[in-house]
Amino acid sequence: MEGYKWMFDSQIVTVWSAPNYCYRCGNIASILELDENLNKEFRVFQAAQQDSRGPPAKNLPLTTSYNVTTLLPRVKPRKRTTTRS
């Protein structure tokens, strides 16, 4: 596997986030980066060799939640103009 796969005439992409999942799948992982013009770039990662890994630095939760503000660029509010009659 190449870390991602386009489907349905490139309308949907699946991104694998765990290289060599459970040390048995042999897959490559990737991150999809989008710029402000929605240009796409994939960063692809191989799994580290199993014997070169140390213990995790700390315990991490098994779930990750994202907030819209972390996924979308910040929008500058427009200045309001008031008109007096």
pLDDT confidence of 52, banded at 50, 70, 90?
Answer: low
Q: How many domains does the chain have?
A: 1
Residue whose pair of structure tokens reads 């240009």 in the numeric block: 39
Asked whether residue 9 is assigned to any structural domain, the reply reads: yes
Asked whether residue 73 is assigned to any structural domain, the reply reads: no
Asked whether residue 7 is assigned to any structural domain, the reply reads: yes
Rounded average pLDDT over 42-56: 73
Per-residue pLDDT of 9-26, as tens digits, reads: 988 888 877 766 666 666
Asked whether residue 60 is assigned to any structural domain, the reply reads: no
Asked whether residue 18 is assigned to any structural domain, the reply reads: yes
- CB 17 within 8 Å of CB 1: no
Asked whether residue 38 is assigned to any structural domain, the reply reads: yes
| Closest to 33 measured CA to CA, from 3, 60, 59, 58 | 3
Q: What is the pTM of this model?
A: 0.47
Rounded average pLDDT over 34-40: 87
Per-residue pLDDT of 60-80, as tens digits, reads: 566 556 555 555 555 555 565
* Residue 14 lies in domain: 1-50
